[in-house]
Structures are given as structure tokens and as C-alpha cells.
Amino acid sequence: MEDSAMRNLKMFQSLCGQEALKNVFLTTTQWLNVDPVEGQARENNLRDPGLWGQLISRGATLRRFDGTRESGLGLIGDLMSNTPKPLRIQEQIVKQQMTLPETDAGKFLKEVLATRGRRLRAELESLGKQLREFMEVEDDEMSRILVEEQTRAREKLEKAEAEQKLLGRLHAAGIEERGRTVIAPDTAAGPSHLRTRRAKPVTMYSPSVTRRET
């Protein structure tokens, strides 16, 4: 599993929280296209704590989808019989009145973006050094390739920085919204009584989720 798939799993865990993981099926596919012994070995490997093992130990279930209608309906039926659980991010945003960057998922995303930014800045610095060296020896072809790599790295860095700024704006907007109250007279208690309603931020972040094939 690549780094991006592992980050998606960690984000997924941050979004769900401990309780909701009990309703999660980690499903493998393509069982009709693999030797059963080899498929079993790969499935066992997925139980490693560094892969799916941590989610399984916290309540998620490893299941197989063999590609048939009956298998799919069986998985859906088992999911429907579970007791619904609120997601961790729902509890944090709605009940605890957190802004998105304050949630577990938001903190993880912020860390990912910061790490990506540091890596890309280091990459740009290295590319710049290499470019200067090849320009000194007048290697036009390598200089062109390095300039293209610089452009791609710079675009990725700008995207990561833009997402970091977006998180900052969401946090500021959530703080402002959290501090805003609506005062309305409680007619049942009489004109001298007031009740306060607090606005709730509802901005959500939806990560990409990958599917693992056997």
C-alpha cells in the first residue's frame, strides 16, 4: 500500500472515530481472479498493524466481496443490521462546536499539508541547485528537464499552501460563527426572559478513500 493509501486510511479513522469503526467493513475484491492460497496470504498481510490491523483491532471487520450479486447483497444486509453510530467529526463539529481545523481529521489534514509543504520546498531547493550546475556546463537538455520538474513541484507547493490557507479561513470563520449568538424573546416565559441560540458551523471535508484489491 502506497503512502497516499495509508494517509487515506488514517484520515478515514480520524473521520469515523472509535465508535463508528465498529460499523466499518474493510472489503477485499477480485477473489475470482487470484489463487485462493495466494489471496489468503495477501489477506493475512493486510491484518498487519501497519496496514489494516490497527483499524481491525479498533472494531472494523475484514470482509470479502467475491464479485457476485449475492455477495454484495450479503455485505449490504450485514451493514444495515448494525446500530447507526455518529461519526467522530460529526460529534466534534455539531456537539462540541469545533471548527474543522480543530477536529481530529482537521488536525491530521493540517499535519499532512505541512509535511507536504516542507518536502516540496526541500525538493525545489535541490532542483534549483542541480539546475545551476547543469547551466554552468551548458547542458541544455538536462536544464530543460529540471525546469519542468521545478514547475511541477512549484504548482504542487502552491496547491498545498492554498489548502493550508483555506483551513485557516475555515477556522477563523468557525470561530466567528461560534461566537455569534441569536437573541430571541421566549414568549412562553414572558418578555423578560431571553433564550440564546448558537449558530453551528457545518463545513465538512471529504477525503478520497481507496479500495484494496487482493
Instruction: Copy the grid coordinates of residue 33.
Output: 481472479
Residue 190 predicted with pLDDT over 60: no
pLDDT of residue 187: 47
Q: Pseudo-torsion of CA 173, 174, 180, 181, nearest 10°? A: 150
Q: Give the pLDDT confidence score for residue 180 in this predicted structure.
A: 64
* Domain boundaries of the chain, sorted by first residue: 3-88, 98-179
Rounded mean pLDDT, 10-38? 91
When mean pLDDT is compared over 4-8, 174-178, 184-188, the highest value belongs to: 4-8
Instruction: List, for residues 88-134, the tens digit of each pLDDT value.
Output: 999 999 899 898 889 999 999 999 999 999 999 999 999 999 999 88
Mean pLDDT of the chain, nearest integer: 83
Per-residue pLDDT at 202: 42
Closest by CA position to 149, among listed 124, 129, 121, 132: 124
Grid coordinates representing 5 are: 493509501
Percent of residues, the chain, with pLDDT higher than 90: 48
* HEC letters along the chain: CCHHHHHHHHHHHHHHHHHHHHHCEEEEECHHHCCHHHHHHHHHHHCCHHHHHHHHHCCCEEEECCCCHHHHHHHHHHHHCCCCCCCHHHHHHHHCCCCHHHCHHHHHHHHHHHHHHHHHHHHHHHHHHHHHHHHHCCCHHHHHHHHHHHHHHHHHHHHHHHHHHHHHHHHHHHHHHHHCEEEEECCCCCCCCEEEEECCCCCCCCCCCCCCEC
C-alpha cell at 208: 478520497
Q: What is the model's pLDDT at position 134? A: 87
Q: How confident is the model at residue 196 (pLDDT cuts 50, 70, 90)?
A: very low
The C-alpha atoms of residue 142 and residue 91 are separated, in whole angstroms, by 53
Rounded CA separation 178/137 (Å): 60
Q: What is the pLDDT of residue 182?
A: 47
Question: Which of 131-145, 154-168, 194-208 is predicted with the least confidence, judged by mean pLDDT?
Answer: 194-208
